[in-house]
Amino acid sequence: QDSPLKAVQMLWVNLIMDTFASLALATEPPSESLLLRKPYGRNKPLISRTMMKNILGHAVYQLTIIFTLLFAALQRDQRAQDPRREERL
């Protein structure tokens, strides 16, 4: 059975994914306090309350923009297909 991705395609996917990950890790400047900080506990959540608020807030923002653009496009399309519009012209 053939793989859905060829070897060269897998290399490109790996390159792109690793590039974004390395950029994300490289944006935080190193500091002494970061190196001396104790590790988080095993039972601590990965996403803090502040992070969850930011994620949900950004999701609501993006959905609002997307649905607004979609609604505007649908209204524009309906006006373009309105047969009464041709009668007025």
**Which H, E and C letters describe the chain, residue by residue?**
CCCCCCHHHHHHHHHHHHHHHHHHHHCCCCCHHHHHCCCCCCCCCCCCHHHHHHHHHHHHHHHHHHHHHHHHHHHHHHHHCCHHHHHHC
Q: What percent of the chain has pLDDT over 90?
A: 29
Mean pLDDT of 33-50: 87
**For the chain, percent of residues with pLDDT exceeding 70:** 90
CA gap 66, 72 in Å, rounded: 10
How open is the CA angle 24-30-36, to the nearest 5 degrees? 120
Say what the pLDDT of residue 87 is: 57
User: What is the per-residue pLDDT for 82?
Assistant: 66
Per-residue pLDDT for 72 more than 90? Answer: yes
The predicted model gives 60-75 an average pLDDT of 95
Q: What angle do CA 13, 5, 24 make, to 5 degrees?
A: 15
56 with 64: CB under 8 angstroms? Answer: no
Which residue has better confidence, 51 or 89?
51
pLDDT digits 0-9 by tens, 1-36: 677 778 888 888 888 888 888 887 777 777 888 778
Domain ranges of the chain: 7-29+46-81
